[in-house]
């Protein structure tokens, strides 16, 4: 099938590469000429395991092309995917200017039937706006051309996106048009060979499903973080509690790991946008507001503990920081807890020595060169000469370090673990002061 994808960001590139790998003829369109030039030279602008190889293989085979020529893009695809950004406005609502700009572009150039597929995460009612935008442009052109607008939200986890696309749990399609539905079934058939994974519903329900999924997962995280705070005050261990409740199949183990808060491009933005949608419908989103408030508080936990540990005297201190990306297996630092921690430390005169396996260049892009930030070549280089160690991301490389080496490098043998990577008693026995999330006062040793 001939497919056009507007937007060569995370969702657009993964979608385009995976559809091309299934044999489709895909053109990815982006207005950023520099990005298109880099992609045509084989440079992939984001880190996602396996994506480089997938893009290179399909580009060389001629199934995947990149362009900033809107005429070519609209003429190419029977299916026109919209996968552009929907950044939050000041009030938390999703900004649809890029989505509607693509809709106008399609309406201005189409000369035959098109299926316009909303892949971007958009508020309920966006498909209606896209439909009205295209219809208005066609009317201005004096054309009466058939088209369909469907919703096909993405459910990709950063770090596992290719597997999520090629082996999906479900493919949600919001469509009220039989022709468009048939084409969407054909497009996704290679990814549903064991059984039909396509879940068909009306467009508005599909749009809400995406927000509901992310809000539910964010809710589970914030709920566990709230329980972690309670566990600390009661002298309980949240890890034991997690095992106790996770074994219940009605709850399960997914997304019940306490930590220093969630980040990324989806959860923070989508919770805010859904809450804004609720208020626009005269409905008070009590749980969504609480989810966001708990996460905001949780992102401050590591800084507050550092302040308490040093009795409010952080000026001139050096903090080693392991993990800058908001989660492992990505270089994405949007809304990352590490950013809130670093910025709070800098505000009180502390310095940071940081390492992340993938997000170092992204950190340089965001913060530039600073006297109070040293980006180190490895985890032990970050620890060398620092006062204490803080951990914000649970990369695999951090799970089994040489603790004796760390203890010899730190000025004070103290670890502030925002992801509960280590066994508290083992670290106490090694002479560390170990601050974890929700693991009770008993985990804090005296050091040596």
10 Å CB burial of residue 286 (0-12, 13-18, 19+) is exposed
Residue 192 has pLDDT above 90, yes or no: no
Tell me the backbone φ, ψ of residue 143, rounded to 5 degrees: -110, 145
Specify the DSSP element, H or E, that contains 304. helix 301-309
pLDDT in tens, 272-287: 999 999 999 999 999 9
Residue 322 has pLDDT above 90, yes or no: yes
The mean pLDDT value for 292-298 works out to 97
Residue 311 is predicted with a pLDDT of: 96
12-26, 183-197, 334-348: segment of lowest average pLDDT: 183-197
Residue 6 has pLDDT above 90, yes or no: yes
Residue 239 has pLDDT above 80, yes or no: yes
Contact 73/4 with Cβ under 8 angstroms? yes
Residue 195 is predicted with a pLDDT of: 81
Give the pLDDT band of residue 365 (cuts 50, 70, 90): very high
**How is residue 183 written in tokens?**
């084409």
Residue 159 has pLDDT above 50, yes or no: yes
Residue 161 has pLDDT above 90, yes or no: yes
Is 28 among the residues known to form the active site? no
Residue 69 is predicted with a pLDDT of: 97
Smallest CA-to-CA distance from 334 within 278, 290, 270 is with 270
- pLDDT > 70: what percent of the chain? 98
As a whole number of angstroms, the distance between CA 271 and CA 274 comes to 5
The mean pLDDT value for 1-14 works out to 96
- pLDDT > 90: what percent of the chain? 93
Q: In this structure, what DSSP letter does residue 390 have?
A: E
Count Cα atoms within 13 angstroms, Cβ side, for 283.
9
Question: What is the pTM assigned to this prediction?
Answer: 0.91
Degrees to nearest 5, angle at CA 365 with 359 and 367: 100
Tell me the backbone φ, ψ of residue 385, rounded to 5 degrees: 80, 0
pLDDT in tens, 208-234: 999 999 999 999 999 999 999 999 999
As a whole number of angstroms, the distance between CA 210 and CA 270 comes to 9
Residue 194 is predicted with a pLDDT of: 80
Residue 297 is predicted with a pLDDT of: 97
pLDDT in tens, 24-37: 999 999 999 999 99
pLDDT in tens, 398-447: 999 999 999 999 999 999 999 999 999 999 999 999 999 999 754 454 44
Residue 89 is predicted with a pLDDT of: 75
Longest dimension (CA), the chain: 81
Specify the DSSP element, H or E, that contains 273. helix 267-280
pLDDT in tens, 337-359: 999 999 999 999 999 999 999 99
As a whole number of angstroms, the distance between CA 435 and CA 414 comes to 8
List of E strands, 219-358: 318-322, 351-355
Residue 93 is predicted with a pLDDT of: 79
pLDDT in tens, 86-114: 887 777 778 899 999 999 999 999 999 99
Residue 442 is predicted with a pLDDT of: 43
pLDDT in tens, 131-142: 999 999 999 999
Q: What does the mean pLDDT of the chain come to?
A: 95
Residue 94 is predicted with a pLDDT of: 82
Greater pLDDT, 393 or 448: 393
Q: Which candidate in 28, 266, 376, 392 is catalytic?
A: 266
């Amino acid at each position: 099938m001939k497919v056009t994808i507007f937007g060569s960001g995370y969702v657009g590139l993964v979608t385009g590469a995976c559809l091309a790998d299934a044999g489709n003829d895909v053109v990815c369109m982006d207005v950023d000429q520099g990005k298109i030039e880099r992609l045509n030279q084989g440079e992939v602008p984001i880190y996602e395991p396996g994506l480089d190889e997938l893009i290179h293989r399909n580009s060389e085979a001629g199934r995947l092309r990149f362009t900033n020529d809107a005429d070519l893009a609209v003429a190419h695809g029977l299916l026109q995917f919209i996968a552009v950004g929907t950044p939050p406005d000041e009030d938390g609502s999703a900004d649809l200017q890029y989505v509607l700009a693509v809709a106008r572009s399609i309406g201005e150039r189409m000369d035959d039937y098109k299926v316009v597929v909303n892949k971007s995460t958009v508020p309920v009612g966006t498909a209606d706006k896209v439909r009205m935008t295209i219809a208005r442009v066609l009317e201005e052109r004096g054309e009466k051309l058939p088209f369909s607008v469907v919703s096909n939200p993405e459910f990709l986890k950063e770090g596992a996106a290719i597997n999520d696309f090629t082996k999906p749990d479900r493919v949600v399609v919001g469509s009220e048009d039989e022709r468009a539905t048939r084409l969407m079934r054909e497009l996704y058939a290679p990814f549903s060979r064991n059984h039909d994974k396509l879940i068909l519903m009306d467009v508005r329900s599909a749009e809400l499903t995406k927000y509901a999924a992310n809000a539910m997962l964010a809710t589970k995280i914030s709920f566990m973080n709230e329980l972690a705070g309670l566990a600390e005050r009661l002298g309980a261990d949240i890890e034991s509690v997690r095992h106790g409740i996770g074994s219940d199949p009605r709850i399960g183990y997914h997304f019940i790991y306490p930590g220093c808060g969630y980040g990324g491009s989806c959860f923070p933005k989508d919770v805010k946008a859904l809450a804004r949608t609720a208020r626009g419908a005269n409905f008070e989103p009590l749980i969504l507001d609480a989810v966001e408030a708990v996460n905001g508080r949780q992102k401050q936990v590591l800084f507050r503990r550092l302040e308490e540990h040093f009795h409010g005297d952080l000026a001139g201190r050096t903090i080693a920081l392991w993990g800058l990306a908001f989660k492992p297996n990505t270089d994405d630092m949007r809304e990352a807890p590490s950013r809130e921690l670093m910025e709070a430390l800098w505000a009180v005169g502390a310095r940071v020595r940081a390492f992340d396996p993938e997000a170092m260049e992204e950190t340089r892009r965001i913060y530039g060169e600073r006297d109070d930030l040293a980006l180190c070549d490895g985890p032990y280089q970050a620890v060398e000469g620092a006062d204490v160690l803080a951990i914000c991301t649970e990369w695999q490389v951090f799970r089994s370090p040489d603790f004796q080496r760390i203890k010899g490098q730190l000025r004070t043998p103290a670890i502030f673990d925002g992801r509960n990577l280590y066994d508290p008693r083992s670290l106490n026995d090694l002479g560390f002061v170990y601050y974890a999330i929700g693991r009770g006062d008993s985990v804090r040793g005296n050091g040596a």
